[in-house]
Amino acid sequence: MDTSRLTAIDVHAHVLASVAEQERTGASADSLAGVFGSIPELTVPELADFYRERQMAAVVFTVDSITRTGDGLRVSNEEIAEQAAEHQDTLIPFASVDPGRGAAGVRMARRLISDHGVRGFKFHPSSQAFYPNDPAAYPLYEVIAEAGLPTIFHSGQTAVGAGQRGGGGIRLKYSNPIHLDDVAVDFPDMPIIIAHPSVPWQDEALAVAGHKPQVYIDLSGWSPKYFPPQLVVQANSLLKHKMLFGSDFPALSPDRWLRDFAKLDLKDEVRPLILKENAIRLFGLDAAKEG
């Protein structure tokens, strides 16, 4: 990946459509449409074209919530990894393994790392119905930490289930970022990305990221014009090296996010850090290029 050509690195993009099945996921998009309106459902190659046109790179993944929903992945981790490998100039494949899978999930993660070259793992505690600091998830983290890979954890409120009866069974309590403080202590060498402005727990997220050196915050899922004031202050100062650009595509487009980001009162030297330089350092992209 030639990072010098990139204008930005989006660390949070969802894959909602499968090339293998030649169908759209439907349910995933429908669950978000009530909040974000009609959203595009793109395959991995379509995502590569989308980001390449914008001179951006993107971290792409699905979400495995089989324990809570009983549904298998419509777009498999393997498909995402294999197709992203054909677009290495633009895409960085992450995998998602529901911690509720137990020992089978641990074996799955090992295989995804060794055989498919995934570059990190995505967790959604509310959708997967687990507390991140539950010791039952630790064998899975051990595999990830052993491989030196980063993790992304959803935090705060979620559009999934919003407005549905009973919130679609989603419990917000699991996604308070304070639970990640334990994970950061117990896995000090595993990079942790707290995804989204963590409404209503923004101060908890800032505290964890400020205290634990391997913890970052991605700014996806909310237009920058809605960022809590304390998040903007910290992004502009103490945590300027810990903030990452993310859109949450397709729920929010990078185009919309960047338009609103341009209006934030940020120092000139901070903007490139958030847009790509922090991600380059975190993911070791310059080292990969040199290698």
* Successive 10-residue mean pLDDT values, the chain, 291 residues: 96 93 50 51 95 98 92 90 97 98 98 98 96 98 98 92 86 97 98 97 98 98 95 97 97 96 96 98 75 42
Rounded to two decimals, the pTM is 0.92
CA distance 285 to 279: 8
Q: In 10 A of CB 43, how many CB atoms?
A: 21
User: According to the model, what pLDDT value does residue 39 have?
Assistant: 59
Place of tokens 């137990």: 102
pLDDT, position 8: 98
**Would you state the structure tokens that stand for residue 207, as one six-digit string?**
């505290």
pLDDT of residue 27: 45
Q: What pLDDT was estimated at residue 24?
A: 46
Indicate the helix (H) or strand (E) that contains 80. helix 77-84
Helix (H, G, I), strand (E, B) or coil at 76: coil
What is the per-residue pLDDT for 33? 44
Rounded Cα gap, residues 12 and 61, in angstroms? 8
- Give the per-residue pLDDT at 38: 58
User: CB count, 10 Å around CB of 210?
Assistant: 14
Looking at residue 288, what is its pLDDT? 47
- Domains in the chain, CATH or no CATH each: 3-290 (3.20.20.140)
Tokens of 129: 């119905």
Distance CA 100, CA 97 (A): 9
